[in-house]
Amino acid sequence: MGDYIYLVVAQTGTRPARFFKFLTKKPYNHVSLSGDIQLSEMYSFCRTYRPFPLPATFNKEIVGQGTLGQFHNIPCEIYRISVTHEQKEAYNKIISHFSQHRKIYSYNLLGLLAVYFNIEWKRERSFVCSQFVAYTMDKIGIPLDKAFSLYKPDDFRSFPGADLIYTGELNTFYYAKQSKLYT
Boundaries of domain holding 142: 3-181
| SS3 call for 123 | coil
> In Å, how far are 91, 120, 126, 129, 139 from 3, measured between CA atoms?
11, 31, 28, 23, 17
Assign residue 75 the CATH number of its domain.
3.90.1720.10
**Is the pLDDT higher at 41 or at 158?**
158
**163 pLDDT more than 80:** yes
**Would you say 43 and 32 are in contact if contact means Cβ atoms under 8 Å apart?**
yes
How confident is the model over 113-160, as pLDDT tens digits?
898 889 998 888 999 999 999 999 999 999 999 999 999 999 999 999
- Tally of domains within the chain: 1
| SS3 call for 160 | coil
Q: Return the pLDDT at 19.
A: 84
Burial 28-58 (b: 16+ CB within 10 A, else e): bbbbbbbbeebbebbbbbbbbeeeebeebbb
**Would you say 107 and 87 are in contact if contact means Cβ atoms under 8 Å apart?**
no
Smallest Cα–Cα separation from 79: which of 157, 164, 178? 164
**181 pLDDT more than 70:** no
Question: What angle do helix axes 109-116 and 129-139 make, rounded to 10 degrees?
Answer: 80
| SS3 call for 54 | strand
Single-letter code of the amino acid located at 124: E
How confident is the model over 57-96, as pLDDT tens digits?
899 998 988 778 888 899 999 999 999 999 999 999 999 9
Burial 162-174 (b: 16+ CB within 10 A, else e): beeebeebbbebb
Question: Whole-angstrom Cα distance, residue 42 to residue 139?
Answer: 18
Chain-wide mean pLDDT for the chain?
A: 91
**52 pLDDT more than 70:** no
